[in-house]
Structure 1
Amino acid sequence: MFGQHPKAIIIDQDPAMKKAIEQVFPQTVHRCCEWHVMRKAREHLGLVYSTKEGFQKELFSCIDGSITIEEFEMRWIGMLQKFDLYDNKHLQFMWSNRHQWVPAYFRDTFFAVMCTSQCSESINVVTKIWVDNHTSIYKFVLQIEKVIETQYDKEDEEDYRMRGGEVKLYSYNPIEVQARDIYTKRNFFEFKEQLRLISGHSLLELEKNSLYKTTAIHNPTMTYTISVNRLAEKVSCNCKMFEFTGLLCSHILKVLHYIGIYSIPSHYILKRWAENAQRRSFNIQSIQHEAMGDSLHAKAIRSNVKQEI
């Protein structure tokens, strides 16, 4: 990554890795893989799942359905009280480590929609096909380059498929046309889904031109607060979807439509999600690559294009 620390890292609950990350990448947000946490919970809470009807569903709802930290902690305590589980050792352990894995604690950090280490582990599986504990360092490097080359080929193929044809629009809203022209197809589909969800929310203006509340029509308990700075064209929602995924949520889109903004403000368009992300220019001379070789360097630059700097 040319000397740049990662913004975020997702790993399992390995204590040695946790300690190493804190020392080597002190500014990086470290998060534990939610899938690993819940798999371990299933192993320790199997009896509770089978004897406490409705507990498993409420546990998952508490974890994934809580928007704010305060909401999560309130629902967690209420869940323990409801099912009389204050003395459960594993739930106590999960609670003591909640700031390392519960989604509500990471909504201000960009994770590109990821909450598990599944992507890196799939690379691990592929790598183990090519190397084993008898592989020399020299051959290991060669094999890793082959793995990377294979990944690039797959990416090129997907990019080619995603470029074909023009996507149909959901509405006549100019913001959708803009999104179609800017985003890759995959991200435009995500954006279009958020635009579609607008129809399922009602809107209430709490403070003129500055504070709004949306409510899900099918579930009035699902409310979201959106603040607006018209002058700076800044909007924020307490669901934190943009901060976490880099795409505007349906609640913000609802407010933008209401106040007459029919385009995505430029500071809410991440280059990593844009269709022309790979066309950014870089000063190649500024990056040391003598030991890398021209071909490998070109691939590294290509990969670096997709990073938000």
Structure 2
Amino acid sequence: MIWELGTLNLGPVKAFNIMRKRYGGFENVGATKDDCKNFRARIHSYIGQYDADMVINRLTDKKQFMVDYSFFHSVDENKRLTDLYKMVFVPFTGIDNHCRNVTLGAGFLASESIESYKWLLQSFLNSFGKQPNVVVTDQDPAMKQAIEAVFDKSRHRLCMWHIMKKLADKVGHQLCNNEDFKRRMCDIVWTDSITPETFERDWKLIMIDFGLTENKWIDDMFGMRSSWIPAFYRHEPMSGLMRTTSRSESENHFFCQVANSQLTLVEFFNHFDGAMDIQRFNHRKNDHISRNTVPDNFSESTLEDDAMKIYTRSIFADQQTELQGTLSECLPMETKIEEPFLKISMKDWKAHGDGLLEVCFKKGEDVIALCTCRRFEQYGLLCKHIYFVFKMFKVKEIPNKYVMRRWTKDVVPNDLNNTFDITVDGDDAHKKAKEVAYEIMQTGEYLIGNLIKDFDHLLIVKDRMREMKEMVDELRITKPIDPKFDRYSRLIGYEKPNTDDPPTVRVPTGIRNKGRGSHKRIKSKKEKIISLKGKRGQTCSHCNIKGHDIRTCKVLKGEATAADKVANKEGRKRRAIQLEKDPNLVDEEEEEVETGDEEEFEESDEAEDSDFECEDE
């Protein structure tokens, strides 16, 4: 259980505490907290210098048995991994047919140089065989040059959020808090409903009105406007799906929950496989919901029924909202005939600007519908304006040309290649095992889908499956116990090379990359100011001279020098002024003399601060 909980980013101590609660006390765990720590140490000892070797061998085996799996690595002259290790984790994030994040691939870089990124992007291209249409990143210059060199046919888009986040620092917080400035900037930056010409005109007017014509950063951002402003991506297919790196940031957070920078390669890949299992499970769950459940039909129109049959649940919800918008948000204004097309002008009450739009429509066997909002071109989904025209001309089903396959229920086959790692001998046996497993999965989905409302029969199925599970558990228990190292190998899923030779691939030495921060706790401004002042000096309550207390006061003992007497005189004057302002100080001093608590309290505080700083270091 320690290893399994470790894949959730829980250390041996937390794993021990979970087992203590789970099994009802310390005595029922069967091990101590130190045993749990030592277990992990023994795992690390077992891996040893073969960390990279074990991972490379495992990934090479997966590449042989999994058709759609790709893996690349490279080493330097010392046989150390040059582009694969824990320093920089680079996931490639896409969007699945449920509009959820999906990890297309991932890489490890030993440095964030142009050559490293080129190697990674070329490996990605070799795996997929096709360049992506649009790549969204931040303003990293090394990444920019690598994308231009490798993905020469892709459109490189900069993250809008990262750029707009810098606006306050570049133009001043006072201007950024101006409501008129914020409204006018957001109206032209965040919308894809305006043309590039409109954006350029309004941008220049804003800069003139607010005195930003001489701002160099503003000029630089305007110069690269075609790389980040949505208005310049209106004609780019599917460009509306990603404008910022927010999906990538979400993926980073997702992986941080199951991994950390202190893991070995073997541990990290086990954690990574666990994260991928979570992602695949969520995808299968969404597939099951889309295929086996029926959502509500609010409008009871044939178009909504057709969308329900075609699209996944989340995409159907989007199309349902668009269909509902045809009832309350669209108003036809004028219809023109320009053979063979009809041009219908309408007003959208929720659209950007004046809300005036135009739909170009041709009825017949080959239905054509184009809207000036360009939602279908940017997202692959029809807009409310086209649905309004379909209803107007009695189009009962969504034409096939306007159904983008990437949003349909069956675009991702329920293939077991990426779901189960079935290790059987021989290609034929491997294929048969997958077919049987696939049939079991289909049968399970069928039973649940058909008996979900028949509770009694559902309980019968559950009991039968529980009996089979117990039978499988008994088979596992009665198997002979493996030798210790075989148990470790089976536990972590990686086999150590059966040789005393040095590893063929060695782990790299640590490299400090840009953007890497300190592991120390970030101190507040107040803490920094206090630390600059240093330790608070002691002041004697008798002579009011700094540097000693009443127990070591020379004036009180009669050992004062002439300088001490002068200082004592000045101190008594200051003390008299303090007592006039607060007479209660006399009682507090008497209590301190009796107990001596003040000095002990200060020393205790100092000791705690010292320990804390030492742990930080």
Normalised by the size of structure 2, how large is the TM-score? 0.43
- Residues 101-147 of structure 1 show CA distances to partners (whole Å, capped at 9, x for unaligned) of 11112233214633221222222233345445554545544433332
Query: Amino acid of the residue matched to residue 278 of structure 1?
Result: V
1:40 to 161, 166, 191: 166
For residues 390 and 153 of structure 2, the distance between their equivalents in structure 1, rounded to whole angstroms, comes to 34
Q: 1:173 to 1:95 in 2, by over 3 A?
A: same
Alignment of 1:109-258 (within 5 A): 109-111=237-239, 113-133=241-261, 135-163=263-291, 165-199=293-327, 200-203=329-332, 204-208=334-338, 209-217=341-349, 221-230=354-363, 232-258=366-392
Aligned residue in 2 for 1:306: none
Deviation of 1:252 (Å):
1.6
For residues 270 and 280 of structure 1, the distance between their equivalents in structure 2, rounded to whole angstroms, comes to 19
Contact 1:67 1:239 in 2 (8 A): no
Aligned residue in 2 for 1:272: 406
Query: Amino acid of the residue matched to residue 177 of structure 1?
Result: D
**Quick check: which has more Rg, 1 or 2?**
2
Deviation of 1:55 (Å):
0.5
For residues 259 and 136 of structure 2, the distance between their equivalents in structure 1, rounded to whole angstroms, comes to 24
Contact 1:201 1:216 in 2 (8 A): yes
Query: Amino acid of the residue matched to residue 89 of structure 1?
Result: K
Contact 1:214 1:223 in 2 (8 A): yes
- Residues 264-287 of structure 1 show CA distances to partners (whole Å, capped at 9, x for unaligned) of 110111122112222389xx9xxx
Aligned residue in 2 for 1:288: none
Query: Amino acid of the residue matched to residue 408 of structure 2?
Result: A
Aligned residue in 2 for 1:25: 151
Whether 2:234 is the aligned partner of 1:101: answer: no
Aligned residue in 1 for 2:136: 10
Aligned residue in 2 for 1:305: none
SS at match of 2:135: strand
Deviation of 1:188 (Å):
0.8
Contact 2:345 2:357 in 1 (8 A): yes
Contact 1:68 1:238 in 2 (8 A): no
For residues 263 and 149 of structure 2, the distance between their equivalents in structure 1, rounded to whole angstroms, comes to 30
Aligned residue in 2 for 1:67: 194
**Can you give the 5+ residue segments of structure 1 that lack an aligned partner in the other structure?**
285-292, 299-309
Contact 2:289 2:313 in 1 (8 A): no
For residues 252 and 154 of structure 1, the distance between their equivalents in structure 2, rounded to whole angstroms, comes to 33
Query: Amino acid of the residue matched to residue 384 of structure 2?
Result: S
Contact 1:213 1:224 in 2 (8 A): yes
Q: 1:222 to 1:112 in 2, by over 3 A?
A: closer
SS at match of 2:357: strand
Q: 1:75 to 1:263 in 2, by over 3 A?
A: farther
For residues 138 and 198 of structure 2, the distance between their equivalents in structure 1, rounded to whole angstroms, comes to 25
Q: 1:57 to 1:112 in 2, by over 3 A?
A: closer
Contact 1:7 1:27 in 2 (8 A): yes
**Cα RMSD (Å):** 3.1
Deviation of 1:21 (Å):
1.0
SS at match of 2:361: strand
For residues 207 and 280 of structure 1, the distance between their equivalents in structure 2, rounded to whole angstroms, comes to 47
Aligned residue in 2 for 1:87: 214
For residues 343 and 375 of structure 2, the distance between their equivalents in structure 1, rounded to whole angstroms, comes to 18
Deviation of 1:78 (Å):
2.8
SS at match of 2:175: helix
Query: Amino acid of the residue matched to residue 223 of structure 1?
Result: L
For residues 116 and 40 of structure 1, the distance between their equivalents in structure 2, rounded to whole angstroms, comes to 14
For residues 155 and 259 of structure 2, the distance between their equivalents in structure 1, rounded to whole angstroms, comes to 31
For residues 134 and 218 of structure 1, the distance between their equivalents in structure 2, rounded to whole angstroms, comes to 50
Contact 2:287 2:409 in 1 (8 A): no
Query: Amino acid of the residue matched to residue 237 of structure 1?
Result: C
Q: 1:162 to 1:265 in 2, by over 3 A?
A: closer
Deviation of 1:17 (Å):
1.0
Identical pairs, percent: 26
SS at match of 1:279: coil
Instruction: Please identify, of 32-41 and 106-115, the stretch whose mean Cα deviation from structure 2 is larger.
Output: 106-115
For residues 161 and 130 of structure 1, the distance between their equivalents in structure 2, rounded to whole angstroms, comes to 26
Contact 2:290 2:409 in 1 (8 A): no
For residues 345 and 207 of structure 2, the distance between their equivalents in structure 1, rounded to whole angstroms, comes to 30
Query: Amino acid of the residue matched to residue 55 of structure 1?
Result: F
How many matched pairs? 287
Normalised by the size of structure 1, how large is the TM-score? 0.80
- Residues 167-214 of structure 1 show CA distances to partners (whole Å, capped at 9, x for unaligned) of 222324311110011111111110011112223222221334332222
Contact 2:347 2:356 in 1 (8 A): yes
For residues 179 and 162 of structure 1, the distance between their equivalents in structure 2, rounded to whole angstroms, comes to 12
Deviation of 1:4 (Å):
2.4
Q: 1:13 to 1:168 in 2, by over 3 A?
A: same
Q: 1:143 to 1:218 in 2, by over 3 A?
A: closer
For residues 280 and 229 of structure 1, the distance between their equivalents in structure 2, rounded to whole angstroms, comes to 38
Contact 1:241 1:249 in 2 (8 A): yes
SS at match of 1:54: helix
Query: Amino acid of the residue matched to residue 267 of structure 1?
Result: K
SS at match of 1:27: coil
For residues 270 and 86 of structure 1, the distance between their equivalents in structure 2, rounded to whole angstroms, comes to 44
For residues 5 and 137 of structure 1, the distance between their equivalents in structure 2, rounded to whole angstroms, comes to 29
For residues 400 and 194 of structure 2, the distance between their equivalents in structure 1, rounded to whole angstroms, comes to 26
For residues 185 and 238 of structure 1, the distance between their equivalents in structure 2, rounded to whole angstroms, comes to 27
